[in-house]
Structure 1
Amino acid sequence: MKILAVTDLHGGSVEDLLGFNGIDLVLVLGDITTGGSIEETMIRINPLREAYQALYAIPGNWDRKDSCQWLISEGLSLDCRSIRIEGIILYGVGGSVTTPFSTPNEFAEEEFGQKLAGCPEPEKGERLILLSHTPPRGAGDKTALGMHVGSENLKRFIKEMAPDLVLCGHIHEGRDKTMIGKTIIVNPGPAPRHYAIVKITDGITVTLY
């Protein structure tokens, strides 16, 4: 399976993301707009849906409730929802832990932990990929001021559950590929300039662009 992972479009054009070959799945990791309307969300999501075989998304902290509802109504949202595709469980947690900016879709660290509790355990032979707009504390979460602002509950979840891959975003300058235990943590950086290609065969390889 070949996955295109993008995050933090913030209303930017998706034109440069439409021409990749062999993509089986697109995963959008939130902040599709910056508090924009449903129409603005559709302008970013629909071209990606039309260009590729399948797309799923989670909202970010800047995505309004009406846009979140539109993703749900279209069957695209993985916010607190799981699906199984070719032996892979995808589970998502959208929004972010509390920020200094009072954005439309943020919540307390405790609530974030409750949302993670809905993630199913993989059966033998299955892989687990977690989509989280918020990065875990200490991985892909370092701000320009050098502060780590990721979720402690997510870090704890990763250590306990050991998903194969965590795809996150939120912290633009936190673009990184790293590890927590055996789990690959990827913050692709803000699209459309940056994105990640994930290839899943016997193992998982991730390339940042």
Structure 2
Amino acid sequence: MRILAASDLHGSTKGVSRLLEYVYRYDADLITLSGDITHFGLGDHVDRIFEPVPVEILAVSGNCDPLDVSHALGTSSKITPLNGNIVKRTGWHFCGYSYQDMAIQDILPIVPKEKTILLTHVPPRGILDKTATGNAGDGNINRWVDEFAPALVLTGHIHEARGMERHKNTVFVNPGPIRDGMAAVVDVDESCIRDVVFL
């Protein structure tokens, strides 16, 4: 399965154009969006923005997505919301934790301990979370990752922390803001993360 991982669209039409370009160029099976789909925009714009996208989008909301947007994700024909949900695609469990949710342990108390991919807007503390003023990650996510050991964690939020890190058996990826044309192609096979390429 080929995932086009993106985050931090902030309502950018240029960013949507890049998503379309990358989906076709890299033959992606699905898109993941790790929050900040809008920049304090309206929920009724969500379906319209993604109308031309030909593949499923799995998404969580971010701190720039008002509750109106979070609710719109649940009614969108283009987006499968992962805020506190688990879906299975090609043998992999995708689960999500949005910015507005309670502690991740309350939202996702039990998930499969194999072939799991977590989408979260905010990164774990100390992993792809460095800003000019220090670490900005969420320690609750670290504890959850330690317990459930997902194969892959896709984050966003910290635009300047684009990159990939591996801790224990988990690969962490911040694809960078798609509004600036940044994304990542993640290839997974039946049992592992095979490759990550930054765009």
| Counterpart position of 1:9 | 9
Select the residue among 184, 195, 203 that pairs with 2:183: 195
**SS where residue 47 of structure 1 aligns?**
coil
- Look up the match of 1:98: none
Q: Give the alignment partner of residue 27 of structure 1, picking from 11, 27, 32.
A: 32
Mapped contact 1:58–1:131 kept (Cα < 8 A):
yes
Q: Whole-Å Cα distance in 2 between the matches of residues 127 and 85 of structure 1?
A: 10
SS of residue in 2 equivalent to 1:76? strand
Q: Write out per-residue CA displacement over residues 39-79 of structure 1, whole angstroms, 9 at most, x where no aligned residue.
A: 3333433332xx22x22111111111111111112362110
**TM-fit CA distance, 1:178:** 0.2
Give the AA of the match of 1:115: I
Query: C-alpha deviations, 1:68-107, integer Å up to 9, x for none?
Result: 1111123621100001112100000111xxxxxxxxx4x6
Structure 2 regions of 5+ residues with no counterpart? none
Question: Structure 1 residue aligned with 2:72, among 70, 73, 82?
Answer: 70
Q: Which residue of 2 aligns with 1:180?
A: 167
User: Is residue 2:135 matched to residue 1:151?
Assistant: no
CA RMSD of aligned residues (A): 1.7
Note the 1:57-96 alignment, pairs <5 A.
57-74=59-76, 76-95=80-99
Question: 1:165 and 1:132 mapped to 2: Cα distance?
Answer: 11
SS at match of 1:42: helix
Displacement over 6 Å in runs of 4+: none
Q: For residue 111 of structure 2, what is the aligned residue in structure 1?
A: 120
Distance between the aligned counterparts of 1:189 and 1:17, measured in 2?
A: 13
Q: TM-score, normalised by structure 2?
A: 0.88
> Match for 2:3: what amino acid?
I
Do 1:144 and 1:173's aligned partners in 2 also have CA atoms closer than 8 Å?
no
Structure 1 distance, partners of 2:182, 2:128, is 14
> Residue type of the partner of 1:144?
A
How far 1:129 moved relative to its partner? 0.3
Mapped partners of 2:146, 2:108: distance in 1: 13
